[in-house]
């Protein structure tokens, strides 16, 4: 049951987080005069913004709920270092896109890595949270 709750949370967060992408792609599919340019979406770091918002929201939610920290080492890794790693990847990708001529393949790989790390983070954090309730 706890796994189902965390998967539901993950699914809903992904759907709502990527809603602009889904709607833009759908609009382009329905209107033949419009085209959805996935390469431009990637080079504008669309996935990075979604991942950053998801990870930051989960971490801040944790810190706003806690009253005392029982294991500061685990908290530092799970709620500070891992999210900072994800945010750092996003910052590097975004800076490369904004400041220079980005390599599409590298930016795509960075955003896929960031997306997978964020989805895993969301699932693990929510599974842990739901297992305590």
The model carries a pTM of 0.86
Looking at every residue in the chain, the average pLDDT score rounds to 89
Q: Check whether 77 has a pLDDT greater than 80.
A: yes
Task: Give the DSSP per-residue string, the chain.
Answer: -HHHHHHHHHHHHHHHHTHHHHHHHHHHHH-TT----HHHHHHTTHHHHHHHHHHHHHHHHHHHH-SS-S-HHHHHIIIIIHHHHHHHHHHHHHHHHHHS---HHHHHHHHHHHHHHHHHHHHHHHHHHHHH-
pLDDT value at residue 62: 84
pLDDT recorded at residue 54: 93
Quote the pLDDT of residue 1.
64
Tell me the pLDDT band of 72, cut-offs 50, 70 and 90: confident
């Amino acid at each position: 049951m706890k796994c189902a709750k965390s998967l539901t949370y993950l699914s809903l967060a992904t759907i709502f987080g990527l809603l602009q992408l889904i709607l833009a792609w759908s609009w382009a599919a329905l209107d033949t005069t419009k085209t959805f340019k996935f390469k431009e979406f990637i080079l504008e770091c669309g996935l990075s913004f979604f991942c950053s918002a998801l990870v930051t929201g989960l971490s801040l939610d944790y810190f706003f709920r806690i009253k005392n920290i029982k294991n500061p080492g685990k908290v530092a890794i799970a709620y500070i270092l891992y999210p900072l790693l994800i945010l750092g990847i996003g910052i590097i990708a975004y800076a490369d896109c904004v400041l220079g001529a980005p390599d599409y393949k590298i930016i795509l790989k960075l955003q896929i890595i960031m997306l997978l790390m964020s989805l895993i983070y969301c699932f693990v954090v929510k599974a842990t949270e739901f297992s305590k309730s």
